[in-house]
Amino acid sequence: MTTKIWITTLLIILTAPFSPGQSASSSSQADNKDAKQLGNYSEGKSDFAAAKIYNEAETEWWAALDTKSRNIYQLSLSLRRAQEDLLSYEHRTTEALRDQRKVENEIKSLKQQIAALKTEFLALIKQGNDNGYNSPRRNSELVLIHRPKPDYPDDARRNHIAGTVVIEALFRADGRIENAKVIKKVGYFLDENSLKAVNQAIFVPKLIDGRFAAEMAKVSLHFDFSGGYDIEIHSSIRYR
């Protein structure tokens, strides 16, 4: 059987972590766009019926996949906000240190929850592929539902290191990322951290005629000091 691989380019702009006091309006707009895009995947029985492919097993499978993807997305939002909160603890008072430890524990817990849901999510994708299930959405681009924030080393920040890391990777139809490699480097461990972040991403694969498809992508990660965290996939999406 021939496997079709679709080629696209994903632009990921990664800047210095969000600082307290910055405007979050662009991030809220990004969250709304992400939520809308994710919502395009779950249209209910009417789409199945219209496509004349409705059956109970497919409907239950898609409902479970949709629930898992939304749960991961919401946890990812909570993780990002907790990571932003952690940046606010600049004054090392006893109370600040105590609050910081609470946030650090929250971050650890959120990462564990996301990892557990990822295992279940990938199992559902495998179930759909193995059984030849159809999605109610006939065609759609891949949707990143968890975008881990790469570490920005203190040494790189102190030296005002900026630039673009470009990574090429295969986003497989089974929800896994394969053969990720850095094809443009910046240095100061930004390359390694960018590669790690891309490999840990969670996504709903591209849909072609109702079936998941593999997609080769070049991911550009831009580091600068304007504040925030931007990701663009075929359209502008701002992440703080």
Q: Assign residue 179 the CATH number of its domain.
A: 3.30.2420.10
Query: How many domains are there within the chain?
Result: 1
Q: What is the pLDDT along the chain (240 residues), one digit of tens a residue?
A: 445 555 555 554 443 333 333 333 334 544 555 555 555 544 444 444 444 456 889 999 999 999 999 999 999 999 989 988 887 765 566 677 778 888 999 999 999 999 999 999 999 999 999 999 998 888 888 888 998 888 888 788 778 888 888 888 999 999 999 999 999 998 888 899 989 999 999 999 999 999 999 998 888 878 775 444 443 332 222 222
Residues 6 or more apart in contact with residue 169 via CB below 8 angstroms: 177, 178, 179, 180, 181, 198, 199, 216, 217, 219
Listed residue (237, 71, 118, 223) closest to 161, CA to CA: 223
Residues of the domain holding 222: 5-239
* Cα–Cα distance for residue pair 217/215, rounded to 1 Å: 6
Cα–Cα distance, 95 to 89 (Å, whole number): 10
Number of residues that this document lists for the chain: 240
For residue 22 the two structure tokens come to 């910055």
Residue 66: alpha-carbon gap to chain centroid: 15
